[in-house]
A and B are shown apart, each in its own frame.
Chain A
Amino acid sequence: MSRQWILRRILLVIPAMLGISVLLYTVLALAPGDPFSELAQNPAVPPEVAAALRAKFGLDDPVWVRYGHWFTSMMRGDWGFSFVSRMDVDTLILQRLPTTLIVIGAAQLMAILVALPVGVLAGIRPYSVFDQIANTLAFIGFSLPTFFTGLLLILVFSIQLDWLPFVYRADINATGWKFYWEHIRQSIMPVMVLGLFQGASLVRYVRSSVLDVVKLDYVITARSKGIGERKVVTKHVVRNALIPVVTLVMLQMPVVFGGAIVTEQIFRVPGIGSLLISAMLANDTPVVMAVTFVFSCLVVLCNLIADVLYAWLDPRISYR
């Protein structure tokens, strides 16, 4: 993989970011009402103060000037001020981002751990009983909406069995091992909801990608050399079958973020997904715009990682 290719791919992030930011800003600009209308129409605020505020925030400038202003300040990390939480949006988001990333990361890990063995086993014995059961379960898995699985898990594990807490608490007053144990205990259900949903769709990708590889000549060669079946599968089939799966895991990120918003909302996980919903219900536009922008950045970043990983794993790609 040439350094030049990576550099070119990284440069491609710029038009993508520009495109997404233009789209987001168009939505905002087309929206009726102005984000400061409440402040400006408040009778307690004299008109000259309101006019000064409008001038200060540049609300009367033409649209492209406002867009340029917004985009450059977003890039600088100056994301505005949350009128509801009374703090800077960037500190608010940075406080909550780690929780979201940990939950999403753990869920993806779980999805891969479930989907890999199941998908590989189903793929090397297509149309067997195991394959059919796995396929049916996968269909059930991605037909179950995350919000319903979440409620089902709460019903079973919190209400019926009383094993797990159903509200995620950020302020656990315990130290040492107990602190970590409590954190793990309250993360089990959100991670399971997201992980099982992702795992269900991954199983099908892994299976079809194994099916594609299994018939290739080099696998037959490996078999004819007398290598054991287990070694053929683990060393020859799986390694190559996983290349497209790695990309798919990364490209599925927009769906994962959607699922994360729902799960955070159900279990009241204090991440940026629940921040987005509460900001919307409280009409806190700066936070809403910033969180959407962060989600978009994360998606673009994941696409970049997917491409670079793919080129690294499959060297034929970068020479195109």
Chain B
Amino acid sequence: MTVTQSAPTGVPAPAAAATATTRKKQHFSPWQEVWRRFRRHRLALASSIVLGLIIVTVVFGPLVWTVPINEIDFAAKLQGPSWAHPLGTDDLGQDVLARMIYGGRISLAVGLAAMVVAIFVGVLVGAIAGMASGKVDAALMWLSDLFLSLPTLPLLLLIIYLFRDSLKAVFGVEGGIFIMIVVVIGGLRWMPAARLVRAQFLSLREKEFVEAARALGASRTRQVVQHILPNALGPVIVAATIDVAAAIIQESTLSFLGLGFPPDIPTWGRLLADAKDYLDIAPHWALASGAAIFLTVLSINFIGDGLRDALDPRRVI
């Protein structure tokens, strides 16, 4: 028998072991195995390509498309797509493509950063609750229940409404709003991750390999960091993917409602909000920004679905 069950380093270690016994010649590392399983989900694979293209466009776009985002030209306002302006122009004659590329940077950055905040807090709370049990666990779960029963959007709006002026003064317009939106969106989305991590910890900490580590005298931190956390990572990665999509939607919603980034900073939601008053004469404007949000969110959701299949060791693909 080929023994591939080393220390539980990656998530799908059992699955890797299972395939290793069926195909004795081939050796797969856990992450190769995840990739092999992920490829089977065609929509997820196509979505990764789409998302990759969007990211490349947004990151390297300004190097190729050098039209400034705030060049006002009233002679060319509200024009449809043309060679000079592939996605047309807005009500001030500004180039929509350039603004979309710039806005995409902000939208994606907000999505990623808010996800990091949500997952960090979620993993921390979940890990503490899962390891401590007893009163600490009960209190933390009560807190997460409380947060789950908060109306997220009204609260988001309330916090931004109350704090935006003072943060603007401290961190500047762009930085202040960015930090606040990221912290607030992330701070209201940690609960699902916390519950997931707690549930994983509760079952993993009783497993034999953790018991073995404990018997060998591993400290609590070492048990968590080396043995439990890597094995709880699968569902967390899936939750993190979904969180990026949700954070992008929430940021766009805030900008759409006029309470996100200030009007002169284009984000996808802001572009859509500006475009909504010109739906009848310049529908291309709204369609472009809306489609960008939709495509990004859809592809992230599909990737999350593919990862869910790929990272679940019990699932046979």
Contact = CB atoms under 8 A, between A and B. Distances in A.
A258 B153 contact: yes
Interface stretch (A3-11, A84-92, A179-187, A292-300): A292-300
Given A147-B253, A148-B294, A262-B256, A257 B163 contact: no
Q: Would you call the interface of chain B mostly helix, strand, loop, or mixed?
A: helix
B253 A145 contact: yes
Contacts of A281: 258
A265 B253 CA distance: 11
A143 interface: yes
A27 B259 CA distance: 17
B302 interface: yes
A288 B161 contact: yes
A305 to B, nearest CB: 12
6 nearest interchain CB pairs? Answer: A258-B153, A31-B162, A143-B298, A148-B290, A295-B151, A32-B166
Contacts of A1: none
A303 B290 CA distance: 33
A145 B149 contact: no
Q: Would you call the interface of chain A mostly helix, strand, loop, or mixed?
A: helix
Interface residues of A, number: 48
A136 interface: yes
Interface in A105-137: 136
A241 interface: no
B305 interface: yes
A19 interface: yes
Nearest to B157: A280
B96 to A, nearest CB: 15
Nearest to A298: B151
B305 A16 contact: no
A145 B162 contact: no
Given A139-B301, A144-B294, A257-B151, 9 more contacts: A20-B146, A139-B302, A146-B253, A262-B153, A265-B257, A276-B154, A295-B151, A296-B150, A299-B151
Nearest to A258: B153
Contacts of B294: 143-145, 148
A147 B158 CA distance: 19
Contact of A16 (B149, B151, B279): B149
A49 interface: no
B239 to A, nearest CB: 16
Interface string B159-189: 1011101100000000000000000000000
Nearest to B162: A31
